[in-house]
Amino acid sequence: MPMNRPTSTVARYVLIEARRSALPWLAAACVLAALGLAGFLSQVAITESAALQASACAALLRACAVFLLAMHVIASVVREANDKGLELALALPLSRPAWYLGKLLGFVATGALMSLLFALPLLAWSRPADLAAWSLALAAESAVIAAAALFFATALGQTVAAIAAVLGLYVLARSMAAIQAIAGGALADEGAAGQAARWLVDGLALLLPKLDAMPRADWLLYGAASGAELAKALAGLAVYFVLLTAAGLFDFSRRNL
Amino acid sequence: MNGLFSARDQRALSAVPAWILWLLAAAMAAQIGWQSAGRSRAPEASDLPPAPTAAVLQLAGLGENAALARLAIVWLLAFDSRGDNAIPYQRLDYGRLIGWLGAILATDPRSGYPLFAASRIYADVGDPARMRRMLEFIDQAFAADPNRRWPALAQAALLAKHRLHDLPLARRYAATLEKLTTDPTVPSWARQMEIFILDDMNELQAAKVMLGGLLATGRIQDPDELRFLQGRLADLERRLQHSQGKPPR
């Protein structure tokens, strides 16, 4: 795989672009909003106020991280394509896989930095070990989102379509376990239509990552998942990350620009 | 870069480096293998979390209370309901369950789903203690909106008579139903529920009369609800025939 100097150069420019864009300000605004929410909750809670603050802030920051990163990746890639920057980059001695992997590496690093920043305000209510696991899981989830956003932005080429695809994938992945559980219940229709619906749900689940399992705010309240469970969940996300990367590389390599 | 849905010609497959093709195939196989190994199943009874307050549930709905209440009850019904479970719902913590049903009912008081599930599913589990708790919940919920919720209390009265064999309890529910319902569209057998309860009908006959009455008054319009109730009626018929030693029809 071409993980060499051109790749790292592209990744470095992605990080520079992220630093010079509004992303750091928006991330800081999210942290401030989370702290404001915590302050409000501390005024209205009559019990478990620390748990309420930690869980609400963690859930809010997780959603902010996913949303901000997906928007940033899609806006950056579509803008570069529209400005003909992509053609210019590929006119240089830079292979398509090197460009794609460099972009992905840069966006993954951006997501990891944002996960680290978003973990900081939660230090006030959580044990460092639990928070480290939460932050690591958020970085892994961000990496999957970055890979999905890059794939859809390059494949679809339109901002709105790519945003819809990424958010749809995210919501479906987060709710798929509950959908499967409901579909397999005792009251589910036993007829052909019910069976077909269950097969469809099971088939769809095979093509989605298990984003519902991590990072969960209850880790900050009751302790993070065990090392083995965390490793298993991270491995599942890693498999999906590689799948999205391979699919993106395949599509981008076949594209006539 | 080509836009969405625009005609775009692609380069030949040979333009794709071989390692990308191998990576794609291997990643797809790994993803399917990984997800097949960890398939999600219906949650266990012990997984049922404590119920939130109605206010928290309404907050989570972001104004879409009707949708949230119905989705929540569908989600609730998945607990302890796995296909290989001989008697679904019997291991649930009924304190928590009633808390959930109450919160869902408070989120959308006009929904019939929570009391339908309470009277037709959760009150029909075979464990007398759990049944009594669920029947009490139905009785309490009925008082808040008798004209809309009477079918649940009527079913509760039948269960009290035929399953719990507690005629005084059945008569109490019947008397409450008679006293509080004022809607003229409520069928006569329901408005004279005490007589209906004291009638010498067996459970199957009573259930048939009740289903017929609900159909005649237009209370059941949803085909899925009708199918569910007819299925329950068939189950009841089979069970009674089995207990009487007759082969099922």
Per-residue confidence (pLDDT) for residue A216, from 0 to 100: 78
What are the pLDDT digits (tens) for A117-161?
999 999 988 899 999 999 999 999 999 999 999 999 999 989 999
Contact A205 B35 (CB under 8 A): yes
Which amino acid is residue B151, in one-letter code? P
> Which of B35, B36, B77, B91 best tests the A interface by mutation, with the highest count of A CBs <10 A?
B35
Contact B4 A181 (CB under 8 A): no
User: Looking at CA atoms only, how far is residue B231 from chain A in angstroms?
Assistant: 11
CB pairs under 8 A between A and B: 127
Instruction: Confirm or reject contact between B20 and chain A (CB < 8 A).
Output: yes
Per-residue confidence (pLDDT) for residue A189, from 0 to 100: 66
In this predicted structure, the answer to whether residue B218 has a pLDDT above a threshold of 50 is yes
CB count in 10 Å sphere of residue B148: 17
What are the pLDDT digits (tens) for A55-70?
889 989 999 999 999 9
Contact A205 B23 (CB under 8 A): no
* CA terminus-to-terminus distance, chain B: 67
pLDDT band at B249 (very low <50, low <70, confident <90, very high): very low
- Of B107 and B46, the structure prediction assigns the larger pLDDT to B107
Which among B17, B35, B77 has the least Cβ separation from residue A253?
B17
* Alpha-carbon distances, residue B227 vs A190, A191, A192, B153, B231 (angstroms): 12, 12, 15, 21, 6
Helix, strand or coil for residue B247? coil
CB half-sphere exposure, A202, CA atoms < 13 A:
16
* Alpha-carbon distances, residue B206 vs B42, B163, B183 (angstroms): 34, 13, 22
pTM above 0.80, yes or no: no
Which B-chain residues 77-106 have CB contacts (< 8 A) with chain A? 77-78, 81-83, 85, 88
Pair A145, A237: CB distance under 8 Å: no
Considering A92-106, A185-199, B187-201, the range whose residues carry the highest mean pLDDT is A92-106
Search chain A and give the residue with CA nearest B6.
Answer: A156
Which residues of chain B have a CB within 8 Å of the CB of A175? Answer: none
Per-residue confidence (pLDDT) for residue B92, from 0 to 100: 87
In this predicted structure, the answer to whether residue B235 has a pLDDT above a threshold of 50 is yes
What are the pLDDT digits (tens) for B148-182?
899 999 999 989 988 898 989 998 998 898 889 88
Which residues of chain A have a CB within 8 Å of the CB of B16? Answer: 249-250, 253-254
Q: Where would I find the H helices in chain A?
A: 5-20, 23-44, 49-82, 85-91, 96-119, 128-156, 159-183, 192-206, 218-222, 227-254
Which residues of chain A have a CB within 8 Å of the CB of B43? Answer: 181
What are the pLDDT digits (tens) for B82-130?
655 556 787 888 999 999 999 999 988 988 889 999 998 899 888 899 9
